[in-house]
Amino acid sequence: MVTDDRGNTDGVVKIRIRVLRPDMLFLRLRFSCDWAQPARYRRRVQTQIRGITVDGAPGIRLRTTRSWAADGKMYIIAHLDEPPRAGSEISLEMRVKWPQRCAPLMVSRQPDSFVLRFGKPISTARYEVILPAGREAFCESAGFEQGDEGFSLHRSVDDEGRAHYVFEALDLEPLREAGMKLELKRRGDLATSSPHQVYSSRRRHSSPSPSPLLPPAK
């Protein structure tokens, strides 16, 4: 997910799913942000979901239904034209453009959470946040403590001067929230930035099999 200085975000969610039942006709996803947004921002949220072909190319756009809960969470249902074969795997890519989703982090300079939660066991999960060039953040894990097995948290800087913060985890249990917290640094704090790694734990062995279900919440 990329954010600009006003907290407007452009994110891509990639999902690989193993189909367990022969009657799967839709997927349900939930997204949220860490502040109570007025309705005018919600109306400007743009979403699109496409299938990914075997060779990795974008496929046909899926029909979606979107709704908002009273607590500000966005629910998206992606409808499949026909149920995939049980035991097969499908890959999807979702694009989400969300006005001022990261306003607490970028505008108010408050700590902001970037966490994932799934309804089924997940073999691998990854969350990446890219800040504008020249911006840096304090970073801590959420749902894990330093020294725990099964996760890593890294920082790097690309050729455009943008800081990338990446959380990765293995073997997440159902309904466990895990990810990272960021707080934007001020000018006097920038000298505290490390060049690359935030920290990394030992990692449990995990098979490369995909997740049975379901995608993230924020």
Q: How many CA atoms lie within 13 A of 218 on its CB side?
A: 18
pLDDT of residue 216: 42
Which tokens sit at 156?
């790097």
pLDDT of residue 146: 80
pLDDT of residue 82: 92
Per the domain annotation, does 162 fall within a domain? yes
Strands 197-200 and 151-157: antiparallel
In order of 109, 116, 193, the CA distances from 7 in angstroms are: 10, 19, 21
Per the domain annotation, does 30 fall within a domain? yes
Per the domain annotation, does 54 fall within a domain? yes
Q: Domain of 125? A: 2-200
CATH (domain of 84): 2.60.40
> Contact at 8 Å (CB) between 174 and 118?
yes
Per the domain annotation, does 209 fall within a domain? no
Q: Give 87-120 pLDDT, tens digit per residue.
A: 999 999 999 999 999 999 999 999 999 999 998 8
| 114: nearest Cα among 186, 38, 5, 13 | 13
Per the domain annotation, does 106 fall within a domain? yes
Domain count, the chain: 1
- The residue type of 125 is A
Per the domain annotation, does 169 fall within a domain? yes
Q: Give 153-198 pLDDT, tens digit per residue.
A: 999 999 999 999 999 999 999 999 999 999 999 876 765 555 455 5
Per the domain annotation, does 146 fall within a domain? yes
Per the domain annotation, does 165 fall within a domain? yes
